[in-house]
Structure 1
Amino acid sequence: MVSNRPRIPPQRLVHAVESVRTVLAVAFRKLVPGHIALMELIAAGWITQAIHAAAALGIADELAAGPRSSAELAAAVGADEDALRRLLRLLISHGIFTQRRDGRYALTPMARALRRDADVSLRDAVLFFGSPGHRNHWSHLVDAVRTGKPVGEELDGMPFFDYVQSDRELGELFDRAMTSISTLAMEPLFAAYDFGRYETIVDVGGGEGSLLAEILRRAPRSRGILFDLPEVVESAPARLAELGLADRCSVESGSFFDTVPKGGDAYILKHILHDWAEPEAGHILRAVRAAMTPDTRLLIIELVIPEHPGPHPSKYIDLEMLVNAGGRERTETEYREFLARHGFTLTSLVPTVAPDNVLEARPS
């Protein structure tokens, strides 16, 4: 039986290639005049908007059935043919789509990730991050840097997470975007960490349960407890039943600022702590700490900012947190100190080939 799971390359190879890429990028910036290197970085914002346009037009979906000419593709997506060719010319130069010798356009591996039905689709993430509202928040980055506070409350009249709940069209897009981004790291996460060692796993702030369901599918001896706000987990029982996990996974609701379910051998916080500054993140940690026993483990799945000065996804997301949610990414040292202040000892940091890491901690 052929597996549909993507092959995960060895971590050493991935990190070695990443190091070489960083060295070459630094060398290039030193070789060319500074204003030329800076202009290339400025143009990256235009590439983001070009990808957003391709996702909004549904170009990848139209090419899923096979290569199309510019006229066929323009008619299918409702675009001006000349303008569409110009858009694709830029995207092709970055490996997103390709043009065959006969002139027809086709998908590339990156372009396939823009399909609605891709195994790992980033279409919703592209639509969210390229949306006018998100762009507007980032246009006020200077205000966030001056004040150290997110800009959403002043622009939208309420904190970011309240706003995406009040505007359900935007909120649903945000939820789908976060789910798709979470899916990116799923296979690397399971390749690096064995969740099957825990009998009962509590996913705190686990959304609709996609991560916990996959953990239980791969760890048949484990049981799960999914915990999130009532409106978030409302559809989770039906979804878990469809996956045949209803007898191994219970669903509880509440706020992780108050209390979380007891009885877990491991508590997962995946992409939760980075959403909050320390006062709020500390409340979450203390609520989890109160539910744990000395033998229980806390598993924090987050990006960790490396100590080196080179580029890293965590440094981009750190500013995203500053602008929108008011949270932050942290270095390993910062996590170690942050956890210690709230009753935990960091025992290990397990990297993956994705930007995510598993920080394992125990009650102090």
Structure 2
Amino acid sequence: MNGDPREAGEEAGRRSAALVVEEALGFLYPAALRAAAAVGVADHLADGPLGVAELARLTGTREQNLYRLLRLLATRGLFEEDDRGRFRLTPAGDSLRSDAPVSARAAVLMLTDRTMWLPSGEMTRCLETGSSAFEDIFGVPFFEHFARDDKTAAVFHAGMDSMSEAENVPIAAGYTFPEAATLVDVGGGYGGFLLAALRTGPRLRGILYDHAHVLAGHRLDVPELAGRWTTAEGDFFASVPAGDVYLLKRILHDWDDEQCVRILRNCRRAMAPGGRVLVVDAVLPRGNEPHQGKALDLMMMASLVGRERTEADFARLFHASGLRLAGVVPTPTVLSIVEGAAAEDT
């Protein structure tokens, strides 16, 4: 016998409401994750589990509130509470340690910084005005704010370096660079990706190109790369150094299409015959498939002027810049290598 359709509809409605409310509460998890990273909880659990009272003493926090925070984080597997009420750091949460082999702590602090968090809470403005919410909140565009605030800029650059650390080696290993090419890392930050790329071939040389205050924190000065790299200061909207292969990792997604074309045209003008432009960004899949890039796309919408793009979007950018799409190379990370060649090259 079939049940009452009205009762079935009401039950489905209740399940939907419960799910939607649960989804709406989801923002509290990254808020808790940020708080745990900020006070360094994971660093104090590196040697084994501790009781909350001891953790509170070590982190300078209030015991009851620290317990409430860790109780939520334990539901997602980064921490685990034992039957004695102690918390331990799980293997999944190990990268929260500041001294972990691959630490994500700085990335967490950057992704949840107020420069990202506050505009995300005002996303309705983006829907209604078509522009970023950042300038309404902070009074100036994203990168201009960072240029005025050294402390916030340091959080951003350290966070991007941290976020990239787990990606750089597998991405660099996924592409075969020309044997003796000069790689130009455009807007390359502290040089983590260029470092990984240069390690793939003993005859590769590199130029790390960014603003002077960013270059001051570079990580290229290692014995194995002696004599194979240099830094260059400048603005990629104006020009880029001459080279063979241009690396644009997590750069184009910051900017709108017109700005991206300016950057890519500068690369096209400067690159040697037979050169390549490698855009390392998320390539969004079609349909309902989950992808981290779809979440980051909303961060771009709220705080910056750029966006994450599809393969077709990159093909259009390349075409407008005197380039052609030569291929898309998937990597083990959420990013792909979108390869561009001179339009006249076959």
Counterpart residue number, 2:271: 292
Please list every run of 5 or more consecutive structure 1 residues that lacks an aligned counterpart in the other structure.
1-29
Aligned-partner residue type, residue 250 of structure 1? T
Q: 1:58 aligns with which of 7, 25, 40?
A: 40
1:63-86 per-position Cα deviation (integer Å, ceiling 9, x unaligned): 112211122112111222222222
**TM-score, normalising length from structure 2?**
0.90
SS at match of 2:235: coil
| Structure-1 separation of matches of 2:152 and 2:291 | 28
CA distance in 2, matches of 1:243, 1:135: 40
- Which of 116, 140, 144 is 2:126 aligned to? 144
SS of the residue corresponding to residue 125 of structure 1 reads helix
Matched to 1:39, the amino acid is V
Whether the 8 Å CA contact 2:169–2:197 is kept in 1: the answer is no
- 1:228, CA displacement in angstroms? 1.3
Task: Kindly state the Cα deviation for residue 243 of structure 1 after the two structures are TM-superposed.
Answer: 4.1
Task: Answer 1 or 2: higher relative contact order, Cα 8 Å, separation at least 6.
Answer: 1
- Per-residue CA deviation, residues 91-145 of structure 1 (Å, 9 max, x unaligned), is 1111011123443211112321111111222212222333344322112211112
Task: Give me the identity figure in percent.
Answer: 38
Q: Within the alignment, does 1:281 sit opposite 2:263 as a pair?
A: no
- Do the aligned partners of 1:294 and 1:362 also contact (CA within 8 Å) in 2? no
Deviates more, 1:344-353 or 1:213-222: 213-222
Matched, 1:249 2:229: yes
Tell me how far 1:191 sits from its aligned partner.
4.1
1:38 equivalent in alignment to 2:48: no
Equivalent pair of 2:116/2:299 in contact (CA under 8 Å): no
> Would the aligned equivalents of 1:227 and 1:253 in 2 still touch at CA under 8 Å?
yes
Q: Specify the alignment match of 1:200 in structure 2.
A: 182
Alpha-carbon contact 2:169-2:196 (below 8 Å) kept: no
Alpha-carbon separation, structure 2, partners of 1:176 and 1:32: 44
Tell me how far apart the structure 1 counterparts of residues 14 and 288 of structure 2 sit (CA, whole Å): 20
Secondary structure (helix, strand or coil) at the match of 1:201 reads strand
Question: Is the 8 Å Cα contact of residues 115 and 303 (structure 2) preserved in structure 1?
Answer: no
Number of equivalenced pairs: 332
Amino acid at match of 1:79: T
Q: Deviations over 1:38-67 (max 9, x none)?
A: 222212101111111111121101111221
Give 1:196 shift. Answer: 5.8
2:213 corresponding residue in structure 1: 231
Query: Once the 2 structures are TM-superposed, how far is the Cα of residue 267 of structure 1 from its aligned partner?
Result: 1.0
Alignment partner, residue 53 of structure 2: 71
- Alpha carbons 1:202, 1:225 under 8 Å: kept: yes
Residues 222 and 354 of structure 1: CA distance in aligned 2, closer, same or farther (over 3 Å): same
Superposed CA RMSD: 1.9
Check whether the contact 2:169–2:193 (CA below 8 A) recurs between aligned residues: no
Which of these residues, 349, 358, 361, is aligned with residue 328 of structure 2? 349
Matched residue of 2:279: which SS?
Answer: strand
Q: Which amino acid aligns with 1:215?
A: A
Distance 1:96 1:32, change over 3 A: farther
Say whether the 8 Å CA contact 1:151–1:323 is kept in structure 2: yes
Larger Rg: 2
Corresponding residue SS for 2:183: strand
1:1-364 paired onto structure 2 within 5 Å:
33-195=15-177, 197=179, 199-236=181-218, 239-262=219-242, 264-364=243-343
Structure 2 residue ranges without an equivalent (≥5): 1-11
